[in-house]
Structure 1
Amino acid sequence: MDLPDGGLSTMEGRAKFGMLSVLAELQRELIVVNTNDGLVSAQARGRVGGRQPKLTEDQAALAQRLYGVRPLRTPAAAGTSAALAEPRPLLPWSPTTTHRLGCQ
């Protein structure tokens, strides 16, 4: 930003800069307030943000069983089946998706 008449070295330049900074701070705070109000309104309507999960809970449980990994959100079950040597060809989704489940 270019301030004429000496920039911040003059009283007028410092005053202009101070007023612009106050306006910028006000605008930022308005954005925060409006965003939070929108999130609260969406939550009241039952809407949640974020990306839809790629896998259903059944698909995630299948991948975890194939890899011998205990489920992430349920208590660990003792005596789960042994992991396959390489279950990757059985799964119709990418290795990255499988890795996000905690399967190596």
Structure 2
Amino acid sequence: MPDPLVSIHLGLPYLAPAQAQKHVTHNEALRRLDAVLQLAVVDSTVTAPPGSPAEGDRYIVPAGATGAWAGEDGAVAAFADGAWELVPPEAGWIAYD
């Protein structure tokens, strides 16, 4: 059963009617959208997160990845605000490298 607190395809968090600090949830959704729309990646064969990624860098995690990407085969790894966000792809996504 789908999680009623997030959108089905991109996992974007919904705002609750009486939620405090709505900007935090909204910014999280924008960060996720920014990671997957117009998807152009730096590389799809690097198996370990780079030591000094640039803000906004995106990778496709290959099989056998290590470190912060371990167990995330096929995910889009996007570096934002000093951390990796890993987004599992949906069928039909296209990425360019």
Which TM class, normalised by the smaller chain length? under 0.3
| Larger helix percent | 1
Q: Which structure's CA Rg is the greater one?
A: 1
Q: Normalising to structure 2: TM-score of the pair?
A: 0.23
Q: Normalising to structure 1: TM-score of the pair?
A: 0.22
| Larger strand percent | 2
